Chain A
Amino acid sequence: MYQAEVHRTVSEVRLLERLSFDLTITDEAYQSEHSTDGEIRVFNRADDQVIRDREYPPAHPLGVLTGGVSGESESAYPGTTLYVGVAREPPLEQDEDAFQDDYVMKAIDVDGIPEDGVVGVDLDWDAAEARESMADDTARVATERYDISGLPNDQLPIIVRAELYRDAKRILRVLRNEEDGQRDDLRGRQQYEGQAALVLDIEHRTESGADSAPLRVEGLQVGLSRTFPQIQFDPEHGSSYDPQSRQVKWGSRTVQPGDTARYAIIGPISELLEVDRLDARLQATLGGRTLSGVTVAELFDESGESTQQWQESTPTVSEKTTITAEVEIDPSALRGESKEVSSSRITMQTTPVALFNELVKVCDRNGINITERSPPGDGTPVEGREGVYDVSGEDAGELDVRREYGDEGVVYAGMEITGRYTAMSEEAQVSTFDETEDRLVRRTKGGLDDAGRATLDIDARSADAELNSRFLSTIEEAFGGEM
């Protein structure tokens, strides 16, 4: 019976596919992307015989005497090629052009390995390399990579969702995974009164018609751009939070097909919304399953016989999918209230800076909370109009504000200030000689009727258009109803 080296040295063959999943939820974008690839890994471990075969290869006496010409052919000795038989049971997708009852199925593309064939893996050793492997007691891994393309979103093994809940009753039900209509737990609800919960759901999608393996979530790590004292996490058990690095980590857990792993960050809504950015990184594995449907059908040596004929113990064969999900969330983009958007524009004969300063005062007077502010820049000179500066683009002033209307809801608004102005500071210096004349000259040169002209654009967002109108009216009235 042929005894190839691979019979002794190959301990494991692993088919590993990787899914990298990116989800971005911000005010600007709600998008998810994914990329997939795969590889066949063969774990090869050297033994004494491997070293001996390299250092003292068998030789014929005549070959030694004649310098190697002895009719010896070592082309298949010591048998270091492993043939990995690869088969595919491809998951199928419905063609986009097909009607609901007229299924036209097409396969996901796999490039780099045959759909039904053999991948030859060369597992030859260098003597020094084999010695090193033995000394370190480590296996060498030979890798054959392949590409997977065309995996549709609806065949991803996981679904990642993020939601922001503000109602204590709802928070309790979500965290307890209770259905609506169940008896209300008033005591349990109390702990979430005045709180909001940012919930991240990792759903393990159920495979249709197949034995689905559980999803093993190796860990979830969430980094926050800011922290606050009242922050809580759910599930609390298994989580660790480092306020210095503003990172919370959850340990491993298993999610059965159709189930959801739910993680929550809890705190006052105002604090949660001021967390500008939340970066979550999830690592999970799915055993016994590949995304592309590629499987290891059988292993063969150079005699063409399968492992069933091998005398030594056969290598372990496994298939696994590793999932890495990167989620970027701006919690304010998850505000359930901001479904209605109303806009308004106010134009005034003043400089953008003056309008910005006035707007800040208006907000302070009217209980409008400024969450982010960026004053107007110096602007850029307007071509052909000496002394006039244009404030727009990156120079525009910005204010992000929030106005709470009690139980009625919250209005979030973004305000942008653009405009043009003349260089008032230079004008003031010149005017010490002849104030009236100089000012007239500069204003004429600038082509402006006054010191400047500024425009305020407001986008108000809330659950209710009525609230938006009230908010816009507050601002407009503060500026004397000038629009």
Chain B
Amino acid sequence: MASGSTLSCRNHGDRGAGQVCGECGDPLCGDCSNRVTDVTLDDYGAGGVRRLIVGLLLIAGSLVLLDALPRGIWLALASVAGKPLYLRLGLKPAFLLTGIALLGTLRFRGISGGFDFSGFSIVTRRNNARVVCQSCYDGDKRLQRTLSRVFKLIAVALIVYGIYQSVAALFFRWLWISGVGGAIWILREDLKLAVIELSS
């Protein structure tokens, strides 16, 4: 650094290494590095309060607000469609599941400090990418990537299926399935973490 010297790639000695494996520390060139979102590298940041408010609003919407809307809105939609849509019955579980999922992603600081809440804060867990070498990638990083893809696929499939069923049959109770998909999407990193923890 001070002298302008550089590291050499562990696998290709004639190439410079601009990165190291974040787990074992081996210097790596671009061709030898794998960049993966690693749940063990997560950190925490602000934005927890906003997420809490959105989550609570969704839950409140499910339990109270949708019922408080004027009945005429639902009747008007039904008259346009020519049949009952059951939209409220579909939105209520979808909102509830999404709201609970959002609350499930929150973390708290200072709740173990007794009655002293001076250090209390709500934070969110943030994902980070980590550079790893091939041998470290072949450990739990490959499993992480697979799990991430699986949960995304399930979430997207459920969201699409719920919407498709609702629109195709004009029977919007199926929206609860999209709600499940949305909740899985929101919680996918936490679910991945849980699987990694349990499997290890």
The answer to whether A303 touches B131 (Cβ under 8 A) is yes
Q: Kindly identify which residue among B19, B38, B129 contacts A306, using a CB–CB cutoff of 8 Å.
A: B19
Q: Kindly identify which residue among A296, A297, A300, A303 contacts B128, using a CB–CB cutoff of 8 Å.
A: A303
The answer to whether A71 touches B8 (Cβ under 8 A) is no
In Å, the complex CA distance between A52 and B111 comes to 12
Residues on B facing A (Cβ under 8 Å): 1-3, 5-8, 10, 17-22, 25-28, 33, 38-45, 104, 106-113, 119-121, 123, 125, 128-132, 190, 193-194, 196-198
Residues of chain A within 8 A (CB-CB) of B28 are 304
Residues of chain A within 8 A (CB-CB) of B193 are 71-73
The answer to whether A2 touches B196 (Cβ under 8 A) is no
A226 to chain B, nearest CB (A): 47
Contact A318/B2 with A302-B22, A303-B131 known, Cβ cut-off 8 Å = yes
In Å, the complex CA distance between A57 and B110 comes to 7
Contact A304/B109 with A2-B43, A318-B2 known, Cβ cut-off 8 Å = no
In Å, the complex CA distance between A204 and B31 comes to 45
Residues on A facing B (Cβ under 8 Å): 1-4, 52, 55-62, 64, 71-73, 75-79, 83, 85, 87-89, 116-118, 120, 288, 295-306, 317-319
The answer to whether A296 touches B2 (Cβ under 8 A) is yes
Sampled A-B contacts (25; CB under 8 Å): A2-B43, A2-B128, A3-B43, A56-B119, A56-B120, A58-B107, A58-B109, A58-B123, A61-B108, A71-B190, A73-B193, A76-B22, A76-B130, A77-B44, A79-B41, A89-B5, A117-B10, A117-B27, A118-B7, A299-B1, A300-B22, A303-B22, A304-B19, A304-B131, A318-B2
Q: Kindly identify which residue among B7, B41, B198 contacts A302, using a CB–CB cutoff of 8 Å.
A: B41
The answer to whether A117 touches B3 (Cβ under 8 A) is no
The answer to whether B108 touches A85 (Cβ under 8 A) is no
The answer to whether B107 touches A59 (Cβ under 8 A) is yes
Residues of chain A within 8 A (CB-CB) of B1 are 295-299, 317
The answer to whether B130 touches A75 (Cβ under 8 A) is no
The answer to whether B5 touches A87 (Cβ under 8 A) is yes
A300: nearest chain-B partner, CB-CB? B20
B51 to chain A, nearest CB (A): 14
The answer to whether A297 touches B131 (Cβ under 8 A) is no
B25: nearest chain-A partner, CB-CB? A118
The answer to whether A297 touches B109 (Cβ under 8 A) is no
The answer to whether A60 touches B3 (Cβ under 8 A) is no
B118: nearest chain-A partner, CB-CB? A56
Residues of chain A within 8 A (CB-CB) of B25 are 83, 117-118, 120, 300
In Å, the complex CA distance between A184 and B28 comes to 66
A118: nearest chain-B partner, CB-CB? B25
Residues of chain A within 8 A (CB-CB) of B111 are 59, 61, 64
In Å, the complex CA distance between A305 and B131 comes to 7
The answer to whether A73 touches B27 (Cβ under 8 A) is no
In Å, the complex CA distance between A363 and B45 comes to 92
Pairs of residues from A and B, 10 with the lowest C-beta to C-beta distance, nearest first: A304-B131, A71-B194, A304-B22, A118-B25, A87-B5, A2-B128, A58-B107, A56-B109, A56-B110, A75-B40
Q: Kindly identify which residue among B2, B112, B125, B197 contacts A319, using a CB–CB cutoff of 8 Å.
A: B2
Residues of chain A within 8 A (CB-CB) of B22 are 76, 300-304
In Å, the complex CA distance between A322 and B137 comes to 42
B95 to chain A, nearest CB (A): 21
Q: Kindly identify which residue among B18, B26, B108, B194 contacts A58, using a CB–CB cutoff of 8 Å.
A: B108
Residues of chain A within 8 A (CB-CB) of B190 are 71
The answer to whether A118 touches B41 (Cβ under 8 A) is no
Q: A299-B1, A305-B19 are in contact. List 19 more A-B contacts (CB 8 A).
A: A2-B129, A56-B119, A61-B108, A64-B108, A71-B193, A72-B193, A75-B40, A85-B17, A88-B5, A116-B7, A117-B7, A117-B27, A296-B2, A297-B1, A297-B7, A298-B1, A302-B130, A303-B41, A304-B130
The answer to whether B39 touches A77 (Cβ under 8 A) is no
A27 to chain B, nearest CB (A): 45
In Å, the complex CA distance between A261 and B97 comes to 80
Residues of chain B within 8 A (CB-CB) of A56 are 109-110, 112-113, 119-121
Residues of chain B within 8 A (CB-CB) of A288 are 2-3
In Å, the complex CA distance between A173 and B113 comes to 77
Residues of chain B within 8 A (CB-CB) of A4 are 43
The answer to whether B109 touches A52 (Cβ under 8 A) is yes
A71: nearest chain-B partner, CB-CB? B194
The answer to whether A87 touches B20 (Cβ under 8 A) is no
Residues of chain B within 8 A (CB-CB) of A77 are 42-44
Residues of chain A within 8 A (CB-CB) of B113 are 55-56
Residues of chain B within 8 A (CB-CB) of A304 are 19-22, 28, 33, 130-132
In Å, the complex CA distance between A303 and B39 comes to 12
In Å, the complex CA distance between A317 and B3 comes to 10
The answer to whether A297 touches B19 (Cβ under 8 A) is no
The answer to whether B194 touches A319 (Cβ under 8 A) is no
Q: Kindly identify which residue among B8, B104, B123 contacts A116, using a CB–CB cutoff of 8 Å.
A: B8
Residues of chain A within 8 A (CB-CB) of B39 are 73
In Å, the complex CA distance between A87 and B1 comes to 9
B13: nearest chain-A partner, CB-CB? A116
Q: Kindly identify which residue among B2, B21, B130, B131 contacts A317, using a CB–CB cutoff of 8 Å.
A: B2
The answer to whether A298 touches B7 (Cβ under 8 A) is yes
Most buried by B among A4, A83, A301: A83
The answer to whether B129 touches A303 (Cβ under 8 A) is yes
In Å, the complex CA distance between A72 and B194 comes to 7
In Å, the complex CA distance between A73 and B41 comes to 9
In Å, the complex CA distance between A88 and B5 comes to 8
Q: Kindly identify which residue among B10, B17, B119 contacts A55, using a CB–CB cutoff of 8 Å.
A: B119
